[in-house]
Amino acid sequence: MKQLVSMEHLSNEEIYSLIETAIEYKQGKKVHKLNDTYVANLFFENSTRTKCSFEMAERRLGMQEIPFETSTSSVKKGESLYDTCKTLESIGVDALVIRHPQNDYYKELEGLNIPVINGGDGSGQHPTQSLLDIMTIYEEYKKFKGLNVLICGDIKNSRVARSNYQALTSLGANVKFAAPDEWVDDTLDAPYVKIDDVIEETDIVMLLRVQHERHDGELNFDPHEYHEKYGLTKERYNRMKPNAIVMHPAPVNRGVEIDTELVEAPKARIFKQMKNGMFLRMSVISHIIAEQQKGVLIDVAN
């Protein structure tokens, strides 16, 4: 794996390998130290979980982070994304983590000689979020084949929905969507259902934030009405199977996608997802750097 920009580019074998390494990191079995390796995190959209967990992952791997802030960079002078990345490559950065509002931004970076890790591109892909979700599901069920997954919310504008649909379907899960008509994504082949029709047979309920920033201010949105039609209410939660789980990529709008009392309920795995994100991103980085350096993952004692 030379870089990670889309779940479409990962085989099932690579997904399992990344998860296995992440679980080993989480269990404290090994650490792959990447001393004298430099990384820059380029976030052109706001982020808490993704940015901070990448930073923590990089530090735990022993990497040196080159600070980058879009507000004080030459981007403000009109520098292109490619030239910004090529500059960082030229001064010795070994890898780039990028979040950008443009779909498929990484296609403009094919002239780079260092790996790119996609931290989210517009409404396109969010591969590390998908992988940490998959890791969380795997820890719970030890399988994917036959699991019933319901993804609820702003499907059309969600890179999480797209990435997870592609990966989980490939792994053998049954993925369904629930969304208002105006947020249906016709490019994805999953069936659309009513949440109340399937809640009792679903293994994983994955809730999505409404992507207000991608609606150009034209969204006529009633949070209470949305919660009643598409959110996880306490009544729906109580109808879920005993071993079913609740997931959300966050940030969570409490009382909109999910009742505030359910965010840390027994079936909720939302904060576990966040914890897993750091270990999963450690795994992604170490696999990519090993490939870049034509080496193998070397175990170093904690």
Greatest distance between any 2 Cα atoms in the chain: 56
pLDDT mean over 269-294: 94
Q: Cβ distance 270 to 133 under 8 Å? A: no
The residues that bridge with 39 in the sheet, in sequence order, are 65, 95
pLDDT band at 215, cuts 50/70/90? low
Tell me: is residue 3 an annotated ligand-binding position.
Answer: no
Q: Is 254 labeled as catalytic in the residue annotation? A: no
Q: Is 190 labelled a binding residue?
A: no
Does 251 show up as a binding residue in the annotation?
Answer: yes
Of 21, 50, 202, 233, the active-site residue reads: 50
pTM of the model: 0.92
Where does the pLDDT of residue 291 fall: very low under 50, low under 70, confident under 90, or very high at 90 and above?
Answer: confident
| 99 has catalytic annotation | yes
| Phi, psi torsion values for 134, nearest 5 degrees | -65, -40
Cα torsion angle, 222, 228, 230, 234, sign: positive
Establish whether 129 is an annotated binding residue: yes
- Position 182 scores a pLDDT of 87
The SS3 assignment for 102 reads coil
At a CB cut-off of 8 Å and minimum separation 6, what does 226 contact?
180, 210, 256
Q: Summarize pLDDT for 220-255 with one digit per residue, the tens.
A: 778 899 999 999 999 999 999 999 999 999 999 999
Of these residues, 77, 142, 145, 294, which one is catalytic? 77
- Could you give the 3-state DSSP secondary structure of residue 116? strand
> Residues 32, 60, 100, 126: which is the catalytic one?
126
**How far apart (Å, rounded) are the C-alpha atoms in residues 245 and 248?**
10
Angle at 92 between CA 128 and CA 57, to 5 degrees: 30
pLDDT at 213: 55
250 assigned to a ligand binding site:
yes
8 Å CB contact between 89 and 113: yes
pLDDT at 216 over 70: no
pLDDT, tens digit (0-9, with 9 covering 90-100), for 31-57: 788 999 999 999 999 899 999 999 999
Asked about 49 being catalytic, the answer comes back as yes
Angle, helices 49-60 vs 127-141, to 10°: value is 80
Beta strands at 116-121 and 148-152: parallel, antiparallel or unpaired = unpaired
User: Which of 32, 37, 60, 99 is flagged as catalytic?
Assistant: 99
- Is 126 marked within a binding site? yes
Q: Give the active site residue among 30, 33, 49, 272.
A: 49
Is 29 labeled as catalytic in the residue annotation?
Answer: no
